């Protein structure tokens, strides 16, 4: 038995052990798996403030929806929606594209309903999902600051296909991910899964990233000075959020301080001067690939 299969068997045993006494979160194996998976993602810095809350309706019909957990980040910029596909089998099951598409429809339908106040009338205030739906529909800070919704499909199976394409719902951008047994195994062993960025085709756009090798005498690392277009940097943060920061900086400190007020004024009144006044973002990478000229990343 290889390492991934041992991890799978251990995960299933944890689901069985933790299911007992877990009635508050539905008591099902699926919800117990959801709790384990989101806790692992939180430990790896890929989510925060997760609440496990189950709701489903009209399964099998056109308007079907389902959700297993959600997260609202402290800065209100990001919301995570989780939906689970759990199969209690002896060996790792292969998750098909149709299963992913069905889960995508269900979690997307939940979001479409939840951002409308009408949905609140369909659920009881005592349910675990009511507070979240009420926040989405009515909380002004969230409505004003929300820039990214991550729809994350959790599964203890193995999925080898592509992620569903990103979408936009009610002016909110929604990014789809599949977190399968391989991803869970990687974060359990290494605490993180590397982000790989192809600047030649990043979300359908090509960015030129010119670079200049820094002349430093150091055998431990190589250093490059580069200029990343602001649009590219914004798209990177929009796509990956706090994962880019690796928990070093949790959120922007608002515009209350003198330095941050100055940054804001430059953005608003003198954007052409931004590079001169505010520069020096450091990024670390395990590996970079240069073009044939050696001048572009």
* pLDDT for res 27: 60
Verdict on whether the full-model pTM lies above 0.85:
no
Is the same domain home to 23 and 97? yes
Is the same domain home to 142 and 237? no
- Hey, what are 224's tokens? 């490059």
**Pairwise CA distance, residues 147 & 78, whole Å:** 6
* pLDDT for res 237: 81
Q: How many domains does the chain have?
A: 2
DSSP E strands in the chain: the ranges are 50-57, 65-72, 78-85, 148-155, 167-169, 172-179, 211-213, 224-226
| Closest to 111 measured CA to CA, from 145, 85, 150 | 150
Is the same domain home to 163 and 21? yes
> HSE-up of 294 (CA within 13 Å, CB side)?
2
* pLDDT for res 250: 47
Is the same domain home to 155 and 19? yes
Q: Give me the domain span that covers residue 59.
A: 3-190
Among 171, 190, 209, which residue terminates a domain? 190
pLDDT digits (tens, 9 = 90+) for 74-98: 888 889 999 999 999 989 999 999 9
Is the same domain home to 152 and 8? yes
pLDDT digits (tens, 9 = 90+) for 149-171: 999 999 999 999 989 988 888 88
Is the same domain home to 10 and 144? yes
Is the same domain home to 25 and 67? yes
| Closest to 70 measured CA to CA, from 47, 94, 46 | 47
Is the same domain home to 38 and 131? yes
DSSP state for residue 296 in the 8-state scheme: B
């Amino acid at each position: 038995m290889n390492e991934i299969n041992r991890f799978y068997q251990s995960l299933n045993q944890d689901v069985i052990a933790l299911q007992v006494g877990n009635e508050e979160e539905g008591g099902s194996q699926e919800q117990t798996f959801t709790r384990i998976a989101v806790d692992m993602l939180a430990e790896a810095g890929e989510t925060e403030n997760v609440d496990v809350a189950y709701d489903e309706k009209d399964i099998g019909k056109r308007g079907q929806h389902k959700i297993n957990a959600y997260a609202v980040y402290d800065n209100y910029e990001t919301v995570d929606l989780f939906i689970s596909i759990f199969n209690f089998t002896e060996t790792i099951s292969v998750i098909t594209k149709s299963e992913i598409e069905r889960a995508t429809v269900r979690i997307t339908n939940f979001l479409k309903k939840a951002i409308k106040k009408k949905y609140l009338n369909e659920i009881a205030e005592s349910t675990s999902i009511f507070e979240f739906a009420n926040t989405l529909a009515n909380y002004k800070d969230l409505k004003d600051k929300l820039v990214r919704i991550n729809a994350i499909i959790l599964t203890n199976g193995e999925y080898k296909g592509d992620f569903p394409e990103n979408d936009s719902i009610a002016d909110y951008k929604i990014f789809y991910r599949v977190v399968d047994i391989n991803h869970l195994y990687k974060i359990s062993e290494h605490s993180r899964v590397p982000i790989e960025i192809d600047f030649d085709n990043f979300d359908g756009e090509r960015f030129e990233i010119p670079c200049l090798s820094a002349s430093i005498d150091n055998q431990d690392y190589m250093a490059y000075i580069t200029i990343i277009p602001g649009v590219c940097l914004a798209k990177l943060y929009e796509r990956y959020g706090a994962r880019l920061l690796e928990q070093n900086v949790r959120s922007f400190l608002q515009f209350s301080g003198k330095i941050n007020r100055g940054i804001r004024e430059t953005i608003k009144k003198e954007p052409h001067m931004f590079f001169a006044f505010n520069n020096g973002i450091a990024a670390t990478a395990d590996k970079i690939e240069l073009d044939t000229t050696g001048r572009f990343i």
